[in-house]
Amino acid sequence: MSQQQCEFQKGFFHENLETCSQVDCLSDVCGLVPFVNAGKHSVAIDIEKLAGWLRMFFIYSLSGLGGWLTGALFTPYQVCVCYLGNREGMCGGMFVELFQSWPLLARPWREVFKLTFIALVAFAFGFLPYLDNWSHLGGFTFGVLSSIVFLPYITFGKWDAARKRTLIFICLPGIVVLMTVLLSLFFTDTVDCSWCHYLNCINFTDNFCEDNLQDIF
């Protein structure tokens, strides 16, 4: 794409970077699409078996949308790859299911450790170029909130039932409010944050984050 075409489409031209304008170019270059989809399905399959496709649709969609909106607001000029918000949303859903089924587990703290380790590893990868930790955080937050609302649950007594229903009444408006705020900010202005890009890429070497598009100015 030439500079004139980029400016005509109201974009930002980078003379030292190339943009792929072909359709489905990623699969033509390296053929990673089947592996990406396989990884996505392996993470989400347990939740879909538990909740059904419709509940899974709402959790997955809200996590992805919330994650990408968060990343677009806090690091608007960074190019990202992978289904970051969706994946962390599924991780948040597994946390919710774990705590809702706590009395049924023989070793619940062991499961907490495993899920925490997975979440921390994903967050650590977010410090590499082209992976967005803001999308991780946004997706995880919306994944937890939407899972509390949409995942089926088992109650253990009247107090437990009241507690879980109260959480639903809190989280449902919370999703609406957060999504409204993110969409409003997205269509009006970006967040002016001078340090936000440090959460996405750490300069392990002098040029490690040079092409990460932290800022265009």
The pLDDT mean for the chain works out to 78
Which string of DSSP letters, residue by residue, matches 65-77? HHHHHHHHHHSTT
The pLDDT tens digits of the residues spanning 36-84 come to 454 555 667 777 887 888 998 999 999 989 998 988 888 777 777 666 7
In a domain, 215, yes or no: no
Q: Left, alpha or beta for 127 (phi > 0: left; psi -120 to 50: alpha)?
A: alpha
| pLDDT at 216 (0 to 100) | 47
> What's the helix, strand, coil split of the chain in %, to 5?
65, 0, 35
CA 198, CA 209: separation in Å to the nearest integer?
A: 10
In a domain, 134, yes or no: yes
For 136, residues 6+ apart whose C-beta sits below 8 A from its C-beta are 67, 84, 85, 88, 122, 123, 126
Average pLDDT over residues 169-186: 93
140 has a pLDDT exceeding 90: yes
Average pLDDT over residues 190-195: 71
Q: Give the range of the structural domain holding residue 47, as residue numbers without chain letter.
A: 34-199
Count structural domains, the chain: 1
The alpha carbon dihedral of 96, 65, 30, 213 has a sign of negative
In a domain, 19, yes or no: no
In a domain, 154, yes or no: yes
SS3 42: helix
| pLDDT at 76 (0 to 100) | 78
Please give the model's pTM, rounded to 2 decimal places. Answer: 0.76
The CB-side HSE value for 124 (13 A sphere, CA atoms) comes to 6
